[in-house]
Amino acid sequence: MKYTLNSGYKIPVIGFGTWQTPEGVVAKDSVKKALESGYRHIDTASVYGNEKSVGEGIKESQIPREEIFLTTKLWNDKHSYEDAKEAIHTSMELLGVDYLDLYLIHWPNPKHLQKGDAWKKANQETWRAMEEAVEAGLIKSIGVSNFMPHHLESLLETAKIKPAVNQIYLSPSDQQKEVVEFNRKNNILSQAYSPLGTGTILDNEDLIKIGDKYNKTAAQVALRWSIQKGFNPLPKSVTPSRIVENINIFDFELDASEMELIDGLEGIGKESKDPDTIDY
C-alpha cells in the first residue's frame, strides 16, 4: 500500500525508523531485517549518526534501489543555502546513493536561531537549496519535520515547491490535531515518528483489549490506527521479532467505535516538544 505525495511520487504507507539506532552492525542489520520483512521505506537523519550503516544495510539487502523509498534529514547546524547544499551531498555520500527519495528540514527553529525571526529566513534559504536539488535530480521530494502551522506558513511565502510531508511526533497519546489539520488542508502528508509514543502507550488496557480481539499487540493496534487516520507511521525497533510484528498490520481493520476509543487516548503518554523552545 502506498500514498501519493503532492510531488506525484508514491510513498509506502508504513516506514522503518532508525532514530536512536546506533551506527555499526546494529543499524545495518536492523535495516536489512526490515527490508527482508517487507518494509520498503527507510527513514534516517544526519543527526542520527547512522547514515553510513543504513546505506550498507540497504546495499547488502540486494533489493534494487528503485524499490526502496529513502528519507534523510538536514540537521540544525546547516540552516543556510550553502550549508544545506553541502549537507545534501554529505548525506548522499554516507548513504552510498545517487539520489534521495525524500529530504527534510529536521527542526524549524534551532536554538541558535530563536532570537527574533532569524529562523524564517534560514528556513527559506535552506528550502531554496533543497528546491535546486530537486531540479538537479538529486532529490525526488522535499519536506519538513516538527513544523507547526506558523512555520509552514512562513515557508510557503517563498517556496516554489510545497512540502510533501511534515514528519511530527504523532501517536494516540499526542495527536497534534491543529498541525494535522493544517497538513491536510494543504495536501501535506502527516508522517508519524514515534507512533508508539516511544513505548509509553504499549501497556494501555484499551489498546491491549482491542488487540486481543484481533490477536494483535497494542503496538499493532496503534500502528493500524495511524494508517487508518491517513498518517504515515515510522516505527523503530532493533529487535527482529518486533520489526516483523510492526509491519504485520494489514490483515485486520479497526471499526469506527475502536477508532473513536483510541482517539480518546490523548495525553496518556509522552508528548511532543515545542519546536520554538528546543535547546539544540
In tens, the pLDDT along 192-215 reads: 999 998 888 899 999 999 999 999
Instruction: Just list the catalytic residues.
Output: 48
User: Structural domain of residue 181, as residue ranges?
Assistant: 2-263
Q: To the nearest whole percent, how much of the chain has pLDDT over 70?
A: 99
CATH code of residue 165: 3.20.20.100
For residue 225, pLDDT beyond 90:
yes
- pLDDT at 204 (0 to 100): 93
Q: From CA 18, how far away is CA 31, in angstroms rounded?
A: 8
Segment 17-70, tens digit of pLDDT:
999 898 999 999 999 999 999 999 999 999 999 999 999 999 999 999 999 999
Give domain status of residue 120, yes or no. Answer: yes
Per-residue confidence band for 273, with pLDDT thresholds at 50, 70 and 90: confident
Q: From CA 35, how far away is CA 244, in angstroms rounded?
A: 10
**Other beta carbons less than 10 A from residue 197's beta carbon:** 21
Beta-carbon-side half-sphere exposure of residue 100 (alpha carbons within 13 Å)? 31
Residue 145 dihedral angles phi and psi, to the nearest 5°: -145, 140
* Cβ–Cβ under 8 Å, residues 189 and 166: yes
Maximum distance among all Cα pairs of the chain, rounded to whole angstroms: 54
- pLDDT at 276 (0 to 100): 86
- pLDDT at 279 (0 to 100): 86
Give domain status of residue 275, yes or no. Answer: no
Give domain status of residue 238, yes or no. Answer: yes
- pLDDT at 22 (0 to 100): 85
Segment 26-38, tens digit of pLDDT:
999 999 999 999 9
- pLDDT at 271 (0 to 100): 76
Structural domain count of the chain: 1
Give domain status of residue 19, yes or no. Answer: yes
For the segment 239-265, the average pLDDT, to the nearest whole number, is 96
For the segment 257-270, the average pLDDT, to the nearest whole number, is 89
